[in-house]
Structure 1
């Protein structure tokens, strides 16, 4: 018995010595993280929308935030940071504390721009992927007074008048811009790109006659439904449920689908329990009637992925965007 006591006492002394040396410090840190996550969240959570207020993304995220706030017991505060093709939220979150209180919407340019220029973040190293949400029903629209009644009519005019037709997107090297460049290359036409900070600005500019074409998502819907604007083509995989008469790019002979999927991420090294709390709240909000009705109104489909599924999807998007950049010969400047 005395021998056993000596062994136990020896283990205790060894453990104390290791802790003093910092060898067991990670275990102590982990315990502290879990204790902290047990009361998470203890204050409002900020969710950055990297586009201007009033567009489809902003409207959708605010509805999602309202639903998630109920499940978290704390307010999810939406903060707009428009510009730079939608990567300003990633810039902020990459430098934020990994405490779960600063999150951002992650648009597709986050995975594309690092292949074009030096960025303030590495999408494969600097983020914790919380939940994937949806993708857009993107397309090209015109105001009612436009002379082009169909996509082929616009393309024919563009061929005869290179560089004369202008179109608006959410920024240089945004998915809207890159897809239009790919379309233009395939058709052999040249259009004039005008960057904006969000869909609401694009719609305002197009409806005011400042640009000819608007690359938009579901935010243009009310104008289309009231005959103030019309779709020329959609970029979805199949025909729209809301506008079934509108052709897709595939319908007009271009095998291109572009929906710019997005989700929510936080800084790297977030506590797994905090990630789970956030994921569960946003997942519940995503399935609530108000959110489902909004997705239907915006003609968007839910594309839910959990945290691990979203992380794997992010790796795939990062790789595919690198290949796209090379294939189209994109550059950091217009």
Structure 2
């Protein structure tokens, strides 16, 4: 008996069947995606606390890019034993000075982002990228942990200065810039950059003399061999109090608590000016957020301990604190600001 094919279904039925199959496949795909997202989210939520809870499982290093005995080293050694106590692991301070802090910064930038290698840096973190043509690291290679402290830079007049009044200096410096030359601890130092920013904002005319550190600068200024200097307030504070030099102005819109008698730029109507420096702790970019958050919380508590606060205040430093995200935004903004100053003034490292 001959076989006859079934009659073809109507066109509308075929279309409906295809649409149903497609809808079913889409639903299956969406269910699969939802399941994957749920699993990944659950895993992330479970892993994040575990990462912070298990950290640290070995000693933590704080790399300091300066020799022992300086301000950054002192602050690091003030924090490290107290942080070790709360973390339950040794916190070791390791000095790696040299190359304008680039040796230490490069080392930490290339370290594993696991919270075991930290960097206690100063403004070189923000200025070096614009200062050096071939730099093996960038500020973006780091994430902030905490903004530790800030300090003021101050314009100081020595005994041989023609004027120690800021308004008079503005009026007279254009006629005789050499008589208003100023020294700093070095070319490209924050003292140098902040004075260049001051000049661009106010019209002050001064010639720069770069020294090799604060010690010879302090000696020459007090001895009358240099009319002016810009330096961090702490380096000049003893001579200011002894009357050997006179503080002209704090390079900030706010007066400094360590020397409240010294006028600020804000007293002369110059707002939104910050020429001071800072110390902060950073970690390699990509360090897990729970680890960064724990370090931020513990170090913030340490900064509020009375003995720590008193020691930091005695150094002419002001505690800042704040979130890790705040500090990351701060040092990246500083890199932009000081980079613009360096390029505009044509400053090159010696």
TM-score (norm 1): 0.73
2: CA distance, partners of 1:330 / 1:289: 44
The one of 300, 304, 311 aligned to 1:287: 304
* 1:317 matched residue in structure 2: 334
Is 1:132 paired with 2:147? yes
Contact 1:86 1:174 in 2 (8 A): no
Give distance in 2, aligned partners of 1:85 and 1:281. 29
| Residue of structure 2 in register with 1:93 after alignment | 108
1:154, 1:285 → 2: CA distance? Answer: 43
Residue equivalent to 1:104 = 119
Distance 1:31 1:40 in 2: 15
- The answer to whether the 8 A contact 2:296-2:323 is kept is yes
Q: Which residue is 2:87 aligned to? A: 72
Alignment of 1:94-173 (within 5 A): 94-116=109-131, 117-124=133-140, 126-142=141-157, 145-147=159-161, 150-152=164-166, 156=172, 159-160=175-176, 162=178, 165-169=181-185, 171-173=186-188
- Identify unmatched segments of 5+ residues in structure 1: 1-23
Map 1:45-56 → 2, pairs under 5 A? 45-56=60-71
Stretch moving more, 72-81 or 301-310: 72-81
Runs of 5+ consecutive residues of structure 2 not aligned to the other structure = 1-39
Secondary structure at the residue paired with 1:162?
helix
* Equivalence for 1:276: 293
Q: Relative to 1, partners in 2 of residues 1:70 and 1:107: Cα closer, same or farther, differing over 3 Å?
A: same
Q: C-alpha distance in 2, partners of 1:48/1:302?
A: 20
What residue is the counterpart of 1:192 in the other structure? 208
Distance 1:147 1:215 in 2: 16
Aligned to 1:218: 234
Alpha carbons of structure 1 residues 233 and 61: separation in structure 2 relative to 1, 3 Å: farther
Root-mean-square deviation (CA), in Å?
3.8
Query: Greater CA radius of gyration, 1 or 2?
Result: 2
Contact 2:51 2:291 in 1 (8 A): no
Q: Which moved more, 1:180-189 or 1:280-289?
A: 180-189
Deviates more, 1:45-54 or 1:281-290: 45-54
Q: For residues 126-168 of structure 1, what are the alpha-carbon distances to aligned partners after superposition, in whole Å with 9 as ceiling and x for unaligned?
A: 113211122112212356x444562447664785252773412
Quick one: distance in 1 between partners of 2:145 and 2:248? 35
Change (3 A) 1:159 1:49: farther
Q: In 1, are the aligned partners of 2:164 and 2:246 still within 8 Å (CA)?
A: no
Write the deviation string for residues 177-212 of structure 1: whole angstroms up to 9, x where unpaired: 111222344435232331435x55654665577755
User: Deviations 1:63-90 (Å, cap 9, x if unpaired)?
Assistant: 2334323323344333444455544432
Given the two structures, how large is their TM-score scaled by the length of structure 2? 0.70
Shift in Å, 1:31: 6.2
Question: 1:296, 1:316 → 2: CA distance?
Answer: 26
Q: How many residues align?
A: 304
Post-superposition offset of 1:39: 4.7
Rounded Cα–Cα distance in structure 1 between residues aligned with 2:58 and 2:149: 28
